[in-house]
Amino acid sequence: MMEILQYEFMQRAFIAGIMVAITCPLIGIFIVLKRLSMIGDTLSHASLAGIAAGMLWGFYPFWGALIFTLIGAVAIEKLRKTFSKYAEISNSIILSAGIGIAVVMIGLAKGFNTDLMGYMFGSIAAVSSKDIYIMGILSVIIILSVIVLHKKLFYIAFDEEGAQVSGVSVNFLNMYLTILTGLTVVVSMRIVGIFMVSSMLVVPVAAAIQTGQGFIKTTAISVIFALISVIFGLVLSYYFDIAPGGTIVLLSVGILVGVLFIKALRKRK
């Protein structure tokens, strides 16, 4: 395995992958516990629109993804209040708008190119130093935010009304969590691809929850599961020349199945 680290592009892929493996579960745990698993899908479609805009008008696609994802995050929260009795509608509206804008822009740019495919399905060769730099800054923001706010975010996820009564700024933190989810999508899209970001937010957490631990331990286990999936996924992707996004996600699904299997075996005993 060590010989693949002599290539600079693989070093960048591993650095990027480790950032994904840490940030996705840290945000995913709150999304899953708040039953908002769809939000990753929605924001990744908004980021696709931003990438397509960048490619069409010739600016760095990361900026496009960042701007569109943040707009999408704010819009989801606003729409959730407008459709308070059908909160999930807000996700469908932003997802539709995102994919609609992306398709129109891709059409105007005269179709797909290799770079766009890389963003959609993940790529180990395409991660540039500039990408790493931006991903690093976003990852630091995400990790520090979770370190500072995790107790309050936990309280909101467990008992939103109770948290509000205790004086927690629930509306602000819900909005901030959605924005952090948007940032996580942008961090992850280069390696796992837009279409699979949502899986990385949800699947390692789903597997960790099945281990039956408390909140802090579950979060730590989900990061470990994500790290295993990303590291082995990148190695397999390199040796078999397959898309890293799909490989990483399949490995994390494999871990989930393994955990469920062990749990079922224990129950029988």
Partner 1 sequence: MKYMENIVLRGEKISFSYDGVKVLKDCSFSVGNRDFAAVVGSNGAGKSTLLKICLGLLKPDQGNIWLFENSIDKFEEWDKIGYVPQRIMNLNLGFPATVEEVVSAPLHTSKKLKNLTKNEKKNLTDKSLEAVGMSQYRNRLIGRLSAGQQQRIFIAKALVSSPQLLFLDEPTTGIDNKTEEDFYKLIYKLNKDDGITIVMVTHDYTDIKSMVNRVIQISDGGISDKIHKDEDGDKK
**Under rule CB under 8 A, which residues in 192-211 are in contact with partner 1?**
208-209
| Binding of residue 44 to partner 1 (CB under 8 A) | no
Q: Which stretch binds partner 1 (CB under 8 A): 7-15, 148-156, 174-182, 186-194?
A: 148-156
Minimum distance of partner 1 from residue 174's CB (angstroms)? 15
Both tokens of residue 20? 């994904």
Cβ closer to partner 1: 139 or 218? Answer: 218
Rounded to whole angstroms, the Cα distance separating 155 from 3 reads: 45
The kind and range of the H/E element at 103 are: helix 89-108
Q: Is 212 left (phi over 0), alpha (psi -120 to 50) or beta?
A: left
| Binding of residue 163 to partner 1 (CB under 8 A) | yes
Q: Which of 9, 63, 121, 154 binds partner 1 (CB under 8 A)?
A: 154
Among the listed residues 257, 12, 256, the one whose alpha carbon sits nearest the alpha carbon of residue 128 = 12
Q: Which of 3, 8, 161, 241 binds partner 1 (CB under 8 A)?
A: 161
Q: Which of 89, 216, 257, 262 binds partner 1 (CB under 8 A)?
A: 216
Rounded to whole angstroms, the Cα distance separating 205 from 26 reads: 9
Both tokens of residue 155? 């309280």
Cβ closer to partner 1: 85 or 268? Answer: 85
Which ranges of 109-128 does DSSP label H, i.e. alpha helix? 114-121
Rounded to whole angstroms, the Cα distance separating 226 from 30 reads: 16
Minimum distance of partner 1 from residue 255's CB (angstroms)? 16
CA distances from 224 to 18, 53, 229 (A): 10, 35, 9
Q: Which of 215, 224, 227, 253 binds partner 1 (CB under 8 A)?
A: 215
Q: Which stretch binds partner 1 (CB under 8 A): 5-13, 161-169, 191-199, 240-248?
A: 161-169
| Binding of residue 82 to partner 1 (CB under 8 A) | no
| Binding of residue 176 to partner 1 (CB under 8 A) | no
| Binding of residue 171 to partner 1 (CB under 8 A) | no
Residue 5, C-beta contacts closer than 8 angstroms, at least 6 positions apart: 11, 14
Cα–Cα–Cα angle for 14, 3, 190, nearest 5°? 20
Q: Which residues bind partner 1 (CB under 8 A)?
A: 33, 151-152, 154-155, 158-159, 161-168, 208-209, 212-218
